[in-house]
């Protein structure tokens, strides 16, 4: 971008979420759960059925120890083989039914979490497509990818095991406490006292995990972004022997990631042994106190067995409670990061107008633009008019605001109201998609998808007319190159067009714009990677479109602008000169100096330039 600023967001006067997560440090984490409410309601029947199976499972866990108690009491009492066998059969049947209830519970609740994960992923992807150009200027690719993959997986874990095990632990406690109290009130109170210690530990210690997990996820996002940048720019890394530098940068991030993980591991490493220790103490108390009650005749041996088995059934919920709360903290931290995308404001479409039919006329008055990331105005009071069918050239020195002006005109950057009008209507009052539908842009930085050449030209069309695609390629001076490919128009283009030269990639982008046949064509320094002969051929081809299309050509090359109806020369965010090629040369201003400089460069290179 000419301004040199590639970060920042548009100058709309409203508050936007922080990239670290909406409401970080100011709003309760539970607030972020509201985005899950519609999905939980949608799958309420599956979840309710899962909870019903959960109740059946826990009821089974109550009954099985009761049959064990009857069996042992029968063995130590009358010892009737038939009664012993009957109780064992009932215990086996209830265990089978309990296992079936557990299977259904897991499938219903975990299945619902997978479906919600699928819909959240679709929603996130749709949101990313709906967000404007400036959102991507303000965020790193690796971070966004991490939010949509790692963080989404953490939220799915929150919805699956988190939703399943927390109610499971609570219902098991509710089912077991009355039975345990009936078996031995004093023993149950001792056990509950130690469980209260565990719960207090969870309440006090585990909330500290959420900021730790957030730092882990942010560091992982930085690692993803670092890896993505190196892979995308591997040619530059190799040519400038940056391997050691990039490895050192990666090692710094990786060490930070391990450091954050070790802090979590240390905290969890303290919690788990303490849990195991307390559970061991519980078992010891049961044997000592319960054994004494058996000796004194206050409990039967079967009742002690029943009590011990039921406490054993409580062991996993107690142990898992710490793990579950850890998952909850991790999931809430991830949910905050997802909310940043889902709550990022989208320009409202309702009530906006469509572009009036006919040629597109631009009127710009007093256009000022500044990136809110900081710095001075990039555009400082730009005035210009573009009539339908006109060819307009825009040039200037580096960082003069050329590309920023083009991005404002095509709607990628939203100006303040009243500064830009299309066919007499304020640009900010028009539907962005409708504006995009009138304009084809050949950007300064060409992006090609990993698809065939034909599909890269006919972008967005699954079944494009081959003749139309070839005609666009001919106009862009690309057809001869394509015919040399082994598969011609069906040749696969590597990721980001890595198999094509810079000039070929630019011509694919030009062919793409021509194929769309929009009334307005914007060229943002789109001929910088082609040689003079190819540039001349492409410009000659474009001159045939002048009767029915508006052409706006941004270029630092004077040769690309000579035939324009009017040329605007920019410097420091302002238009300092306007006129035809001949008029501007006659004034001997900035345009004249640029032309002389380029003429000298060509002469030194052995070229010939005629003005």
In this prediction, residue 296 has a pLDDT band, given cuts at 50, 70 and 90, of confident
d(CA 253, CA 216): 11
Which residue, chain included where needed, has tokens 């054994």? 291
Q: Are 273 and 198 in contact (CB under 8 A)?
A: no
Dihedral sign, CA of 137, 140, 233, 122? Answer: negative
Task: Classify domain 29-342 by CATH number.
Answer: 1.20.1560.10
Which of 319, 388, 326, 337 has the alpha carbon at shortest distance from 360? 388
| pLDDT tens column, 366-403 | 888 887 666 787 888 888 998 888 888 888 888 888 88
Q: Is the pLDDT of residue 200 over 60?
A: yes
What letter would DSSP give residue 180? H
pLDDT confidence tier of residue 17, bands split at 50, 70 and 90: low
> Mean pLDDT score of the chain, rounded to an integer?
79
Q: For 441-465, how does the pLDDT look when each residue is reduced to its tens digit (9 = 90+)?
A: 888 777 777 778 888 888 766 666 7
Taking residues 305-320, report their average pLDDT: 81
Half-sphere exposure of 338 (CA within 13 A, CB side): 29
**CA-CA distance, 42 to 63, in Å (whole number)?**
34
Name the range with the highest mean pLDDT among 100-104, 183-187, 524-528.
100-104
pLDDT tens column, 125-177? 888 877 777 777 777 777 788 788 878 888 888 888 888 888 888 888 888 88
pLDDT of 588: 86
Which residues is 367 bridged to in the sheet? 382
With a CB cutoff of 8 Å and minimum separation 6, the contacts of 347 are 132, 414, 432
Share of the chain above pLDDT 70, in %: 84
Domain ranges (residues) in the chain: 29-342
What DSSP string runs through 435-480?
A: HHTTEEEE-SS----SSBHHHHHTTT-SS--HHHHHHHHHHTT-HH
Q: CA-CA distance, 525 to 532, in Å (whole number)?
A: 14
Distance CA(108)–CA(111), nearest Å, equals 5
pLDDT on residue 21? 46
Answer yes or no: is pLDDT of 29 > 50: yes
Q: What is the mean pLDDT of residues 567-589?
A: 88
Cβ atoms of residues 550 and 522 within 8 Å: no
């Amino acid at each position: 971008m000419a301004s040199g600023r590639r970060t920042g967001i548009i100058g709309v006067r409203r508050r936007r979420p922080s990239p670290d997560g909406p409401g970080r440090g100011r709003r309760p984490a539970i607030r972020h759960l509201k985005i899950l409410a519609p999905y939980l309601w949608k799958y309420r029947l599956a979840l309710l059925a899962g909870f019903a199976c959960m109740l059946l499972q826990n009821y089974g866990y109550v009954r099985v120890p009761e049959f064990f108690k009857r069996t042992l009491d029968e063995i130590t009492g009358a010892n009737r083989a038939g009664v012993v066998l009957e109780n064992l059969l009932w215990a086996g049947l209830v265990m089978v039914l309990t296992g079936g209830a557990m299977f259904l519970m897991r499938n219903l609740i975990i299945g619902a979490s997978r479906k919600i994960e699928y819909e959240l992923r679709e929603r996130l992807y749709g949101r990313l497509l709906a967000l404007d150009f400036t959102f991507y200027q303000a965020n790193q690719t690796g971070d966004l990818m991490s939010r949509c993959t790692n963080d989404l997986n953490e939220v799915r874990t929150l919805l699956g095991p988190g939703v399943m095990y927390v109610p499971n632990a609570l219902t098991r406690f509710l089912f077991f406490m009355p039975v345990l109290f009936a078996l031995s009130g004093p023993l149950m109170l001792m056990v509950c006292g130690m469980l209260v210690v565990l719960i207090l530990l969870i309440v006090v210690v585990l909330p500290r995990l959420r900021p730790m997990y957030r730092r882990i996820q942010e560091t992982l996002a930085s690692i993803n972004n670092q890896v993505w940048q190196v892979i995308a720019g591997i040619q530059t890394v190799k040519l400038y022997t940056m391997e050691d530098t990039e490895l050192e940068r990666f090692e710094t991030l990786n060490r930070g990631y391990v450091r954050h993980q070790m802090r979590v591991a240390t905290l969890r490493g303290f919690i788990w042994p303490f849990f195991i220790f307390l559970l061991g103490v519980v078992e010891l108390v049961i044997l000592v106190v319960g054994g004494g009650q058996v000796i004194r005749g206050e409990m039967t041996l079967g009742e002690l067995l029943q009590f011990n088995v039921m406490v054993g059934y409580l062991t996993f919920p107690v142990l898992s409670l710490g793990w579950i709360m850890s998952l909850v903290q991790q999931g809430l931290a991830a949910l905050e990061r997802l909310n940043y995308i889902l709550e990022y404001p989208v320009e409202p479409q309702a009530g906006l107008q469509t572009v009036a039919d006919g040629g597109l006329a631009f009127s710009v008055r007093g256009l000022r633009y500044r990136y809110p990331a900081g710095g001075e105005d990039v555009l400082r009071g730009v005035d210009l008019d573009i009539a339908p069918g006109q060819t307009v050239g825009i040039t200037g020195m580096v960082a003069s605001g050329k590309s920023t002006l083009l991005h404002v005109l095509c709607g990628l950057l939203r100006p303040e109201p009243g500064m830009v009008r299309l066919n007499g209507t304020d640009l900010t009052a028009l539907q962005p998609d409708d504006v995009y539908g009138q304009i084809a842009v050949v950007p300064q930085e060409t992006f090609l998808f990993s698809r065939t050449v034909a599909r890269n030209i006919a972008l967005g069309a699954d079944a494009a007319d081959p003749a139309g695609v070839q005609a666009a390629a001919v106009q862009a001076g690309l057809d001869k190159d394509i015919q040399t490919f082994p598969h011609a128009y069906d040749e696969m283009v590597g990721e980001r067009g890595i198999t094509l030269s810079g000039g070929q990639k630019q011509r694919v982008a030009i062919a793409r714009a021509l194929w769309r046949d929009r009334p307005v064509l914007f060229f943002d320094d789109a001929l910088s990677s082609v040689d003079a002969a190819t540039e001349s051929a492409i410009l000659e081809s474009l001159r045939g479109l002048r009767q029915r299309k508006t052409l706006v050509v941004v270029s630092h090359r004077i040769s690309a602008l000579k035939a324009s109806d009017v040329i605007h020369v920019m410097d420091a965010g302002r238009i300092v000169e306007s006129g035809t090629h001949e008029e501007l040369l006659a004034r001997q201003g900035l345009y004249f100096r640029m032309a002389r400089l380029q003429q000298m460069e060509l002469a030194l290179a052995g070229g010939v330039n005629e003005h």
